[in-house]
């Protein structure tokens, strides 16, 4: 008799029964899901669903009232916020977080410093180890400049650059710390059609070349459906669905959450055209 081989991917991140309350508001209500290593996991939901709150829990910016978050099988619940990047979790923000007067290259090198192995004393004494470390960081920055197509603007101050390129710089800055998991918080927000197409390609390229795991919060259904392997849907702080893009697009609870009314059975969630946002209450 032939044996059926089941391929299961290793779990990188496990969110278990996370609950967060702000006064009377339950921002997350016992939310659980797993993110396998490698690939892209989309995290979607209408405005106020709890997506950013979850990202802030993963970054240790918010405390959760109950539950646990395991990264590579270890709880991060007591990890200090400044250790998150060196632990392997990187992040971009809805509002860009960069040193705007510094160059693109300097921003990327700052991103790499959390993984630097030279301490204050050895840096002050200019030991050989420090020079080697600086060369390593420089090489890493050069790799990322090339990968994200930023070579031509490497020495320009970030503030001089168009918004779409600034977003790419922020992505590169987060990648410089060599994260195993990167949290992308609405990377498509504010991008024009061309910039959105560039971003889609960049995310695909980074994922395939670096083998990194991506957790993506995004309102643009074209982007989410186009690049995610798996999607988790939140609504009013609760997980209402998870599955492949095809499963999510035809899930009646997801359709109802986005359209604000019970969905007719079998009505698919239309992935909007690539540049069309898919906000709660707005027609798809
Ligand atoms: N610091 C805070 N203090 C009080 N309430 C908060 C705080 N952060 C979030 N909330 C509330 O928690 C709920 C979830 O908000 P959250 O920002 O996580 O949603 P979201 O899914 O990211 O929304 P959006 O898509 O609009 O960014 C909302 O009701 C919000 O008002």
pLDDT tens for each residue of 95-105:
667 778 889 99
Q: How far is the CA of 49 from the centre of ligand 1 (A)?
A: 7
CATH topology of domain 9-88+179-187+212-270: Rossmann fold (3.40.50)
- For the CA of 49, the closest atom of ligand 1 is 21
- The reply to whether 9-88+179-187+212-270 and 96-178 are identical in fold is yes
Task: Specify the length of the chain in residues.
Answer: 284
Contact between 175 and 91 (Cβ < 8 Å)? no
Q: How far is the CA of 28 from the centre of ligand 1 (A)?
A: 9
**Which of 26, 48, 186 has most ligand 1 atoms within 8 Å of CB, for mutation?**
48
**Residue ranges per domain, the chain?**
9-88+179-187+212-270, 96-178
Contact between 54 and 215 (Cβ < 8 Å)? no
Whose Cα sits closest to atom 11 in ligand 1? 27
pLDDT tens for each residue of 125-184:
566 677 777 788 888 899 999 999 999 999 999 999 998 899 999 999 999 989 999 999
Q: What is the structure's pLDDT at 9?
A: 77
Q: What is the structure's pLDDT at 5?
A: 56
| Residues in the chain, pLDDT under 70 | 1-8, 95-96, 114-128, 261-284
> Which pTM value belongs to this model?
0.84
Q: What is the structure's pLDDT at 92?
A: 87
Q: What is the biggest distance separating any 2 CA atoms in the chain, rounded to whole angstroms?
A: 70
Q: What is the structure's pLDDT at 43?
A: 97
Task: Tokens for 282, please give them.
Answer: 């707005």
Q: Return the CATH superfamily for domain 96-178.
A: P-loop containing nucleotide triphosphate hydrolases (3.40.50.300)
Q: How far is the CA of 214 from the centre of ligand 1 (A)?
A: 22
């Amino acid at each position: 008799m032939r044996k059926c081989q089941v391929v299961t991917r290793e779990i990188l991140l496990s969110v278990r029964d996370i609950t967060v309350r702000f006064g009377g508001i339950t921002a997350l209500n016992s939310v659980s899901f797993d993110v396998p290593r490698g690939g892209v996991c989309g995290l979607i939901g209408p405005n106020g669903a709890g997506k950013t709150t979850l990202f802030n829990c993963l970054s240790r910016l918010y405390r959760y009232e109950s539950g646990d978050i395991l990264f590579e099988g270890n709880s991060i619940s007591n990890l200090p916020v400044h250790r998150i990047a060196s632990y392997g979790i990187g992040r971009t923000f809805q509002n860009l977080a960069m040193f705007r007067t510094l160059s693109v290259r300097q921003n990327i090198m700052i991103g790499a410093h959390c993984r630097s192995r030279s301490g204050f004393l050895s840096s002050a004494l200019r030991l050989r180890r420090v020079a080697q470390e600086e060369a390593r960081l420089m090489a890493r920055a050069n790799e990322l400049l090339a990968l994200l197509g930023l070579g031509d603007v490497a020495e320009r101050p970030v503030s001089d650059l168009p918004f779409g390129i600034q977003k790419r710089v922020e992505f590169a800055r987060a990648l410089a710390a060599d994260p195993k998991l990167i949290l992308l918080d609405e990377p498509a927000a504010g991008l024009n059609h061309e910039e959105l197409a560039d971003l889609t390609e960049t995310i695909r390229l980074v994922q395939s070349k670096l083998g990194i795991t991506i957790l993506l919060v995004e309102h643009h259904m074209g982007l989410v459906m186009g690049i995610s392997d798996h999607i988790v849907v939140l609504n009013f702080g609760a997980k209402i669905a998870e599955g492949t893009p095809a499963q999510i697009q035809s899930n009646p609870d997801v359709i109802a959450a986005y359209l604000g009314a019970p969905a007719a059975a079998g009505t698919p969630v239309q992935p909007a055209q690539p540049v069309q946002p898919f906000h709660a209450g707005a027609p798809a």
